[in-house]
Amino acid sequence: MKFSVCKRFMCSAPILVAVLCATASAARVPDSEWPLIGRDAEQHHYAALNAINDKNVDRLGLLWSAEIPTRDGLVGVPLVMDGVVYQSGAMSRIYANDVRTGKSLWTFDPQVRPRAGQIVSYWGGRVNRGLALWEDRVIVGTGDCRLVAIDRHKGTKIWDVQACDSSLGYTITGAPRVGGGKIFIGNANADTGANRGYADAYDGRTGKLLWRFYTVPGDPAKGFESEALANAAKTWGKDYWKRSGGGSVWDAITFDSKLNQVYIGTDGASPASPEDRGAGAGDELYTTSIIALDAESGKYLWHFQTTPHDGWNYDATMHIMVSELAINGSRHRVVMEAPKNGFFYVLDARSGKLLTVNNFVPVTWASSVDLATGRPRVRPEAEWWHRSSPTEIVPSVLGAHGWQPMSFSELTHLVYIPTSEQPMTLTRGTGTEAVGGADASLYIARGSSQFKGGLVAYDPVKAQVVWRHDVGFPQNGGVLSTAGNLVFQGTSDGFFRAYEASGGRPLWQFQADGGFYAAPITIQVDGRQVVLIPSGSGTASSVFTYSRMGGMTRGPSRLLAFALDGQAHLPPAAPHSPLMSKPLLPRPDPAIAEKGKDAYYSSGCELCHGFDAIGPEGGSIPDLRKSQAFASDQLAAIVIGGMRAEKGMPSFAGKVTPEQLNQIRAYVAEQAWNAYSQKNAP
């Protein structure tokens, strides 16, 4: 409605228009609501509430908990409007609960359905990072590439559009973003390099596609969509369109209401090894970049590339926030991001010029970033694709900062970043590639000083770390800061904690019996400040390596609400045994198991069932090492025949032969026996 008011008076009253539009874009979010992922268009994940503060947070207690009927974890930020909290879950389902009591109001299932042979859609269907609210509707992106709008009062569908083609390897895992009457959405391809990344804008009322911006150039013979892509093509290697792809906008999209710009973040080029992407390649634009677009037309405005010619999977698709900062005596509207590569970037929002930069965790792939050019000073020894021996790199392919939101406190003017410190070794691929052209080995030793998650307070003006805390294992939850001089974060081992925002002192914690990956929010309910956070580990929060990161607390999916002097108690969680039972299959021939390892990775089994066949626990995807079906004579009917396609297991007919399936069975059996003999948890 605000968009319509501004447009209506465009010709007749330009002065009135300026006032109305400025008022609409800067409208204050009521304390009782959290309508956008970051609360408002700035995406600060900050609330100006201080009833819960650093002096009384030790009185914080559970107010209520609500069981969410899904076996897979909740990772998206909850949104609140008109007394209802909206939460997304696996298979792109939406759950609406009463914010006062947690009572379920309705559930919407967009009916994500398997499509034969499309691995990405099964993985994508189980990873949903959140929703958007716009006027009277809730919008969700689905694993099978749709954008769906639902009446937020009734839980019924309003419109449903196809935003990408899952048959081409696309899927949607990120949350839609809204602004100026538009819905913005990107997509993912699981680093396959099978296609080009792009971002779309849709009309919020009708679902009509308004514009599309491709992030990397296509086949020159077909022409380029814009001058920006024609220029980008000059930075790619020979015949790049035949072998390379990338630039997915799989999460980060931020609408700048003051400049009417949209900022998108892109992932790297594929395949992972630069040597496999074509001779003569340069920066390979616009991969690993922050790109500014005109919100009305989708026209390219500027870009900043964080990792040119990326060979380490250092995506720039992490949370993008905007703010106003005084730097070197001048006031700037800025864009801020902490991408995977370990450096924190502050850019001028109007030009893309780099204003400040520094590393926020230890890094070894580059010594620093040149402030004048914005280019990293890459260490020659980090370019593993030129070396025959293994190369140790920090950060790992999982990144120094993942998709989990960071927070900018308007009280302390610090940015709080959930970090991951985990070295990896990279060697040139041998046929069982983990990241497309490279073998990646992650350091996962428990108790290692090189394997830890952190919470870092960073000063974006001075470009320096102010304080940091080790918080256990890598890959933890997003962050919330408040005017009560507090920072909240949940961790993968089930702790929900509060810290003093200014100095970093730990002040409070709660064990929730379920891992955290989402960021918490806080609102005012009937005059009382309440903190909300979703919990629960499982498939949606442990796809790929998450299940083997160690320390993950398995628990049911829940929404948790906290308030001062809350007296509620969590229902007891089901017991979990960390020990592996005796495998169902006998020990296999090692030679057959080794062939099965090649077949396992070449078929993409690790996308859902985990690296080294160490599968996620507690979710809807089984750990194959413990699966009775995998050990039964029905295996061929399931994997090749598609017996369980409607449950999310695609048919691999034409992709896996019966001989290869037996080899994969042997490999999984070998992994089961290894775990059993070590008496270790997955």
- For 345, the enclosing helix (H) or strand (E) is strand 343-348
Tokens for 361? 């965790």
Beta-bridge partners for 214:
198
Cα torsion through 227, 229, 231, 232, rounded to 10: 170
CB 608 within 8 A of CB 543: yes
CA distance linking residue 207 with residue 620, whole number of Å: 31
What 3-state class would DSSP assign to 367? strand
- For 120, the enclosing helix (H) or strand (E) is helix 119-125
- For 241, the enclosing helix (H) or strand (E) is helix 240-243
The whole-number pLDDT of residue 361 equals 97
What 3-state class would DSSP assign to 601? helix
CB 86 within 8 A of CB 98: no
What 3-state class would DSSP assign to 231? helix
CA distance linking residue 189 with residue 172, whole number of Å: 8
pTM for this predicted structure: 0.90
Q: Could you read off the pLDDT of 224-283 as tens digits, one per residue?
A: 999 999 999 999 999 999 888 899 999 999 999 999 999 999 999 988 888 888 899 999
Average of per-residue pLDDT across 556-572: 95
Average of per-residue pLDDT across 468-485: 93
CA distance linking residue 502 with residue 486, whole number of Å: 8
CB 552 within 8 A of CB 655: no
The whole-number pLDDT of residue 616 equals 64
CB 341 within 8 A of CB 376: yes
Listed in sequence order, the residues at least 6 apart from 22 whose beta carbon sits closer than 8 Å to its beta carbon are: none
Beta strands in 215-337 (DSSP E): 245-246, 253-256, 261-265, 269-270, 289-294, 300-305, 320-327, 330-337
The whole-number pLDDT of residue 572 equals 81
The whole-number pLDDT of residue 646 equals 74
The whole-number pLDDT of residue 367 equals 98
Return the closest-CA partner of residue 672 out of 622, 620, 626: 626
Could you give the count of Cα atoms lying within 13 Å of 536 in the half-sphere of its Cβ?
31
CA distance linking residue 421 with residue 360, whole number of Å: 11
- What percent of the chain has a predicted confidence (pLDDT) above 90? 66
Tokens for 670? 């070998």
CA distance linking residue 671 with residue 613, whole number of Å: 7
Measuring CA to CA, how many Å separate 327 from each of 413, 461, 478? Answer: 13, 6, 27
The maximal CA–CA distance of the chain, rounded, in angstroms, is 81
Listed in sequence order, the residues at least 6 apart from 321 whose beta carbon sits closer than 8 Å to its beta carbon are: 38, 42, 43, 44, 45, 254, 335, 336, 337, 406, 408, 415
Beta-bridge partners for 20:
none
CB 518 within 8 A of CB 475: no
Return the closest-CA partner of residue 466 out of 405, 417, 420: 417
Tokens for 88? 């997304």
CB 224 within 8 A of CB 205: no
The whole-number pLDDT of residue 380 equals 94
Tokens for 132? 């958007």
Beta strands in 389-474 (DSSP E): 391-393, 407-408, 415-421, 424-428, 438-442, 452-459, 464-472
CB 183 within 8 A of CB 139: yes
CB 555 within 8 A of CB 494: yes
CB 658 within 8 A of CB 665: no
CB atoms < 10 A from the CB of 219, how many? 12
Q: Could you read off the pLDDT of 308-351 as tens digits, one per residue?
A: 999 999 999 999 999 999 999 999 999 999 999 999 999 999 99
Of the candidate ranges 427-436, 467-476, 551-560, the one whose mean pLDDT is the lowest: 427-436
Tokens for 449? 């000083």
Listed in sequence order, the residues at least 6 apart from 227 whose beta carbon sits closer than 8 Å to its beta carbon are: none
Per-residue pLDDT band at 388 (split at 50, 70, 90): confident
Per-residue pLDDT band at 552 (split at 50, 70, 90): low
Omega before 586 within 30 of 0, i.e. cis: no
CA distance linking residue 103 with residue 248, whole number of Å: 37
CB 240 within 8 A of CB 232: no
Q: Could you read off the pLDDT of 182-241 as tens digits, one per residue?
A: 999 999 987 666 689 999 999 999 999 999 999 999 999 999 999 999 999 999 999 999
Average pLDDT of the chain, as a whole number: 87
CA distance linking residue 600 with residue 602, whole number of Å: 6
Which domains, from first to last, does the chain contain? Answer: 1-30 (no CATH), 181-404 (2.140.10.10), 590-678 (1.10.760.10)
Measuring CA to CA, how many Å separate 483 from each of 46, 411, 433, 529, 563? Answer: 8, 6, 47, 12, 16
CB 369 within 8 A of CB 356: no
